Amino acid sequence: MPTQTDQLFANARAHEGRFEGPCSVIPSRHVAIVTCMDSRIDTFAIFGLECGEAHILRNAGGIITDDVLRSLALSQTLLQTREIILMHHTDCGMKFDDIDEAVRTAIRRVREHPSLPHRDNVRGFVYEVEQGRVREVT
C-alpha cells in the first residue's frame, strides 16, 4: 500500500513534465515573508505569488528566532530582498495570549536587528484561518 510520501513523490515526478525551467534565485518582488508552518496557510495563494517572487520562511508560530533573523539577513544582503512581511494566524497551536501583540513584538525584533540593512519596511499581519482574511496589525 503506497504511503503519503510515495504519492507525493509521484506528484513530484509528474511535476518534472510540467517544469518550465528554474525561477530566478533573486525574488522578483524583493520581499521576504515569515509565517507559521501550519498547513492551512497557503502563502502563495494568500498573497497571489508565483514561483520566484518572494522568499518564504516558515516555522512553528512564525516566531522571529535567531535562525529566522539570520535567514532574513542573508535574504537581504545576498538576494536583494528589501521588504519583510510577518504573518501570524488565528487558531495557532502556539497559543498566543494576544496575537496582535505577538505580531508587534515580532516587528520590533526585526526592526531592531543590526544585521538587517533594510528594516524600514517591515509590516505585520494576522491571517484569520476561519475566514481566509488577512488583516494588518498596527
What are the structural domains, with CATH classification, of the chain?
22-137 (3.40.1050.10)
Strands (E) across 19-103 are located at 31-36, 54-59, 83-89
Please state, in angstroms and rounded to a whole number, the distance separating the CA atoms of residues 43 and 91.
Answer: 16
pLDDT of residue 105: 98
Q: Tell me: the pLDDT tens digits for 103-136? A: 999 999 999 999 999 999 999 999 999 999 999 9
Q: What is the pTM of this model?
A: 0.94
pLDDT of residue 52: 96
Confidence tier at 97 by pLDDT (50, 70, 90): very high
pLDDT of residue 30: 98
**Residue 76 burial by Cβ neighbours in a 10 Å radius (0-12, 13-18, 19+):** buried
Q: Tell me: the pLDDT tens digits for 48-93? A: 999 999 999 999 999 999 999 999 999 999 999 999 999 999 999 9
